[in-house]
Structure 1
Amino acid sequence: MSMQLSNRCRTSLYRVIFGNPKSSDESAVFLMAGSREAANRRAVRTLAVLFDIREEDVYLYNLASFADLVGSGVSDDEDVRVFETSWKGAQVSAWVEHPLFLTDDTSLLGKWAELHADLARIETLAVI
């Protein structure tokens, strides 16, 4: 049975890409907010504290709402579209790697675990 994202995710989830100025690493950050502006402010403040950097040095891009992510995704399971990052035609070619979840929404964490179980199953079958 496929887990579904909560109503809270469907109405309040945002994903943004965070570039750490101390390294070349980038991370997808998931958080809940009431608006795009609130999501940006919350991400900046939280990431500044977590990474011990000034708010001015927090580099964010590609802020997208749940609706934005579902609208641009291609997976049959619309909820898993929040984890898509790249496509080749109608196929997902890359998924979010090492995300930072700034939320305690268990449905989002469960969907992440479900996605990775499915990806592991597909990879295992390809090897066999």
Structure 2
Amino acid sequence: MSTQLSNQCRTSMYRVIFGKPDSSEKRIVFVMAGSREAASERATSVLAALFDIDPPEVYLYNLASFVDLVDSGVSDDEDLRIFELGWKGPTVSVWAEHPLFLTDDASLLGKWAELFADIVSATAVEAIRRARS
């Protein structure tokens, strides 16, 4: 059964990257807000509190709305596109790993769990295939 994202996700969800682009310490962050500006402000204030840093030291980039992510993604399941980070042609090559959810939206968490289960399953199948070769 495929989890469907809530209307709240479709209209209010933003994804942003927290950390400097040249750093290996980057986190994908999901936040609900009424606008891009509100999403940036909310993410900044929550991340500053979570990581005990001054708000001006919170570095965010690549802020994208649900619509932006769906438009730029390639997955058949459009809801999964919010977790895509890289592509090789029409195939997803990089998925968001260990995202930080600044929301308790059950549909978003369920969609992540569904994707994570698929990734783990595919990894196990590939390991078994290699072991048999």
Specify if TM > 0.5. yes
1:16-35 alignment runs, 5 A limit: 16-19=16-19, 24-35=24-35
Q: Distance in 2 between matches of 1:24 and 1:122?
A: 25
1:59-78 alignment runs, 5 A limit: 59-78=59-78
CA shift for structure 1 position 127:
2.3
Q: Distance in 2 between matches of 1:120 and 1:98?
A: 13
- TM-score, normalised with respect to structure 2: 0.91
- How many residues in Structure 1 have an aligned counterpart in Structure 2? 126
Counterpart in the other structure of 1:94: 94
Q: Distance in 2 between matches of 1:5 and 1:126?
A: 29
- TM-score, normalised with respect to structure 1: 0.95
Q: Distance in 2 between matches of 1:86 and 1:74?
A: 10
Structure 1 unaligned runs (5+)?
none
Q: Distance in 2 between matches of 1:45 and 1:24?
A: 22
Q: Distance in 1 between matches of 2:127 and 2:54?
A: 46
Q: Distance in 2 between matches of 1:75 and 1:97?
A: 17
Alignment partner of 1:43 is 2:43: yes
Q: Distance in 2 between matches of 1:118 and 1:24?
A: 25
Q: Distance in 2 between matches of 1:59 and 1:24?
A: 13
**Superposition CA RMSD, Å:** 1.1
In structure 2, give the amino acid aligned to 1:60. Answer: L
> Once superposed, which parts of structure 1, at least 4 consecutive aligned residues long, lie more than 4 Å away?
none
CA shift for structure 1 position 19:
0.5
Q: Distance in 2 between matches of 1:114 and 1:79?
A: 11
Counterpart in the other structure of 2:15: 15
CA shift for structure 1 position 125:
1.8
Identity %: 68
Structure 2 unaligned runs (5+)?
129-133
